[in-house]
Amino acid sequence: MHVIRTVTLPSGARVPALGQGTWHMGDDPSRRAEELDALRTGLDLGMTLIDTAEMYGSGASEELVGEAIRGRRDEAFLVSKVLPSNADRRGTVEACRASLRRLGTDRIDLYLLHWRGGVPLAETVEALEELVRQGSIGSWGVSNLDTDDLADLPRGAVPDTDQILYNLTRRGPEYALLPRCRELSVPVMAYSPVEQGRLLGHEALHAVAEAHAVTPAQVALAWVLRHEDVIAIPKASSRRHVEENRAAADLVLGEEDFAALDEAFPPPAGKRPLEIL
């Protein structure tokens, strides 16, 4: 097993290209032990970036993550998000403090605006930069922002990432958003990189998987990870699933594989609005 390659964020922080998502984790008490084991297994395997949000389970996901990293805080790179309804000057700071309490830590490594709402972006960025100055967060970023939204950020304000929906069936960002993020040297964080499992029955994916003796999910994940500046954050709520995801980081697809996948999942021919799950 190779070391997971890293991606350097504009702030200078280096993070693994393959992390762990936690959407819908922490909701079911009967699954808690298995989910904690999954997150800790991910840490053991080098998937040290853990993504959560105040919205997920109304804080239940953050509490789960906090428990999973107890005694191992320095191994983890924590990402959380503020809801747009909380993203004014005061609300951002209060939301961050509440997230810190649930996570049981004194800092969030990367704090994102979850999506754009009614609060002016300049006000949210001002609050985020104040949190950086206070040491409550290491850096800030955005989520679900398209090219025109990025253009509305205050002059000189560079987010550490734009977390977006990106996978084989959601290739719209390749037309304009990924190139714009590259111009800004802002890495993209891909959520739902296997479309929450919905794309796994596709024939072309099975054919490529069979050729490499791997699973369709591993092919879909390796496809997202082919970009040097894209971080993938699949959710896995069992140890077996985490190990499967980890192995995808070592899978190298060839030109024939990419051609077959392009045929089955064509790249965008024009600009499409950014999709959100």
CB atoms inside a 10 Å sphere around CB 237: 19
Q: Give the separation between CA 77 and CA 227, rounded to whole angstroms.
A: 21
Q: Contact, 114 vs 86, CB < 8 A?
A: no
Q: Give the separation between CA 50 and CA 20, rounded to whole angstroms.
A: 5
CB atoms inside a 10 Å sphere around CB 174: 14
Q: Contact, 82 vs 114, CB < 8 A?
A: yes
First to last CA, the chain: 32
Active-site residue 175, yes or no?
no
Cα distances (Å, whole numbers) of residue 80 to 7, 8, 142, 248, 266:
18, 18, 11, 24, 32
| Residue 192 DSSP class | S
Cα distances (Å, whole numbers) of residue 216 to 40, 166, 198, 240:
24, 16, 11, 15
User: Which residue is catalytic, options 56, 111, 166, 191?
Assistant: 56
Q: Up-side HSE of residue 78: CA atoms within 13 Å toward CB?
A: 31
Q: Which residues are catalytic?
A: 56
